[in-house]
Structure 1
Amino acid sequence: MHIGFIIEHWDNLEPLKSSTLTIIRECVKRNHKVSILYTNNLTVRNNIVHGFIQTINEMDKIPENIVTFYKKVQFEKKLTALHAFDCIMLRKDPPINPLVLNFLDAIKDETVIINDVDGIRKANNKLYTTTFHDPNNTFLPVTHVSGSKKYINKIIEESVSEKLILKPLDGSGGKGVIVLEKNAKSNINSLLDFYIDKSGDKYVILQEYIQGAENGDVRVLMLNGKYLGAYHRKPAEGELRANIQAGGTAHKYTLTQSQKNVCRKIGAKLLADGLYFVGLDMIGDKILEVNVLNPGGITNINRLNKLKLHQNVVDFLEEKVEEKIEKRAELEYLLKRLSELRE
């Protein structure tokens, strides 16, 4: 089958860290045709959505070493109609331009898209957790989102906690995440001036500080609504953010039973929204964020546990494509039978 990956840029992939590259290599190993595509290469030709894609040329022998594979990959560039893909994986850091989803709308009934286009619309930013029903904050931290300095200041004043987490709504990779000390009131307004502009288009998240946050968080990968794997991300010394991009380190981790229960609790919701491959950031039993566009962690979980989670992901892609082919064949058969009965 032909699998496309919408990514930021091939040159930016880090072979030893990239989950995307690991999945791509597995697809190539299974003799699937693999192409990459950048969002600025999407186009429409005579009302049909195309892309200037780069297809990986066949290799005589596929290197076992991921770095060698990355270096040896060569591409053939070609303008191609996107409905020629059997499957497309979106693997680009958020936020994604809504126009990209409009392009993909044209093919979503013909091509398997992971994650689902409408699901990404719902979960394209950190507001998605508001769709989970957790009025008593059993698995979601107390969270406020606003573009109003006045409102954010009011919440800070009313808070009984001495520490709060402030971060931009559209950030990723731990960028812009800071700890607000309530007693440092003189700095709060200047910080809010930086995060919120006068247009009101910039939103911030104000979140309760969860005890134990200084020890990092847990990245949990979910596939098809079920727990796939996890690892512990510890922040660098003097750093709050545990993200690997921010200097955090990866450590082996086994989910507690209560954490597994939380994963089960939201798994059905993820599946219903077409969010098949998802990363959860957790501290204790609380979900801080849901990552639906480019969740990483496969390489770390594989290394720490001697697993091959990328194989599970490609198995799933193959199953979804086969499922769509079977449904299409079934529909064509029913339409044919209906036509014959009318005659």
Structure 2
Amino acid sequence: MNVCFIMYPWEEMNPHPENDSTLAMIHEFVKRGHGVAITTPANLTIRDSVAYSFSRVINRQEKISNSLKSFHKHATFYDEMLPLAGFDAVVLRSNPPLDMIMLNFLDSVKDDVFIMNDLDGIRRANNKLYTAVFEDDNNEIIPRTHVTKNKEYLKQTIKEGPDKMILKPLNGYGGSGVILIEKRAMLSINSLLDFYIDNNDGTSNYVILQDYIEGAEKGDVRILMLNGKPIGAMKRVPGDEDHRSNVSAGGTVQKHSLTNHEKELCRRIGPKLIKDGLYFVGIDVINGMLVEVNVMSPGGITYMNKVYKTRVQEKIIDFVEDKVIERVNAFERRSKLRKHVNEA
């Protein structure tokens, strides 16, 4: 099987490649003897109406190190311009914000190759608005949330809302731009909203205003979902100098067993994720409340592996292999049936 990863540059995994979830997935594919090529959205191209990528193909090795850091350091590549439809699977692992042109390139090959995740699903779910698709009229699993550019509406909502709320940019990721605001700091709200919403070119950005969830100061739970079911979870605890629990913001990781409420949350959202073709996602949960669905490049694999002494990536690669086999078998079956009809 040949797989193409559309991702960030290989060099950007430094200085801690052993913590990179994408590298863990690539490593597992290579260990199983599959061919792996990597590329970036900027390296997609069209030649004679066919989608290609300027790819770096990992040279096959007789012995693969079990260490991600060593594997990353010693991997060698050769460069090749390859047709995307020639791969068995394409795995999207590029960081937000979503590159819509990248999806346009992939639209031309989505019937020829298995893509994780589904392109239309990513279009729908690539930002923090996606949680609104899950019906929750009584706010049992999703906190009260507002998304807007209207500063007056935001200020009024803050005045009328609870003492604490969370403000964050719609297209942020990795905990970037997430701040805690309090009513007692209303004198600073104008400047904060100006900073978050206004751009120098006259355009503006959407922001999310969300009720603060009690217990958020103790951290959140990252749950990895595969084909609508949880395959791993971890507790992320904020550092001493930051309210955010993201590891990239200084948070630490602890073991976590899903509560009954969290299991029910996963059961409620799983069917919709599958329907939208969002096979591999990361969800962030605080005190049983869903705050975010990550569909672009969900992380946490390596941290879960460390605290649980497991290999989460094996389940993911098993799933991709099964999907590719399903497509191959379906194609062969259709070919036989068509041959029978043609020869009748």
Tell me if both proteins adopt one fold, taking TM over 0.5 as the criterion: yes
Q: Which residue of 2 aligns with 1:164?
A: 165
- Alignment root-mean-square deviation, CA: 1.1
- Deviating beyond 3 angstroms after TM superposition, the runs of 4 or more aligned structure 1 residues are 198-201
Aligned equivalents of 2:194 and 2:337: distance in 1?
Answer: 61
Counterpart secondary structure, 2:302: helix
Aligned equivalents of 1:275 and 1:225: distance in 2?
Answer: 8
- Counterpart mapping for 1:1-343 below 5 A: 1-13=1-13, 14-159=16-161, 161-197=162-198, 199=202, 201-341=204-344
C-alpha contact (below 8 Å) 1:166/1:180 kept by paired residues: yes
Aligned equivalents of 1:115 and 1:220: distance in 2?
Answer: 17
Counterpart secondary structure, 1:230: strand
Structure 2 residue ranges without an equivalent (≥5): none
Change (3 A) 1:201 1:340: farther
**Alpha-carbon distance, 1:96 to partner:** 1.3
How many pairs align? 340
**Alpha-carbon distance, 1:285 to partner:** 1.2
| AA in 1 matched with 2:207 | V
Instruction: Give a deviation string over 1:150-209, Cα, whole Å, max 9, x none.
Output: 2211211221x1000000000000000000111211100000000112745410000000
Structure 1 residue ranges without an equivalent (≥5): none
**Alpha-carbon distance, 1:97 to partner:** 1.1
Counterpart secondary structure, 1:239: coil
C-alpha contact (below 8 Å) 1:148/1:200 kept by paired residues: no
Aligned equivalents of 2:203 and 2:144: distance in 1?
Answer: 23
Aligned equivalents of 2:140 and 2:248: distance in 1?
Answer: 29
Aligned equivalents of 2:330 and 2:152: distance in 1?
Answer: 53
Percent identity, please: 48
Aligned equivalents of 2:119 and 2:19: distance in 1?
Answer: 26
**Alpha-carbon distance, 1:64 to partner:** 1.7
Counterpart secondary structure, 2:19: coil
| AA in 2 matched with 1:237 | D
**Alpha-carbon distance, 1:328 to partner:** 1.4
C-alpha contact (below 8 Å) 2:18/2:67 kept by paired residues: no
Aligned equivalents of 2:213 and 2:338: distance in 1?
Answer: 56
Instruction: Give a deviation string over 1:28-55, Cα, whole Å, max 9, x none.
Output: 0100000101110000001101000110
Counterpart secondary structure, 1:183: helix
C-alpha contact (below 8 Å) 2:227/2:280 kept by paired residues: yes
Aligned equivalents of 1:267 and 1:200: distance in 2?
Answer: 36
Counterpart secondary structure, 1:25: helix
C-alpha contact (below 8 Å) 2:229/2:266 kept by paired residues: yes
**Alpha-carbon distance, 1:92 to partner:** 1.5
C-alpha contact (below 8 Å) 1:147/1:200 kept by paired residues: no
| AA in 2 matched with 1:175 | S
Counterpart secondary structure, 1:16: helix
C-alpha contact (below 8 Å) 1:53/1:77 kept by paired residues: yes
C-alpha contact (below 8 Å) 1:90/1:115 kept by paired residues: yes
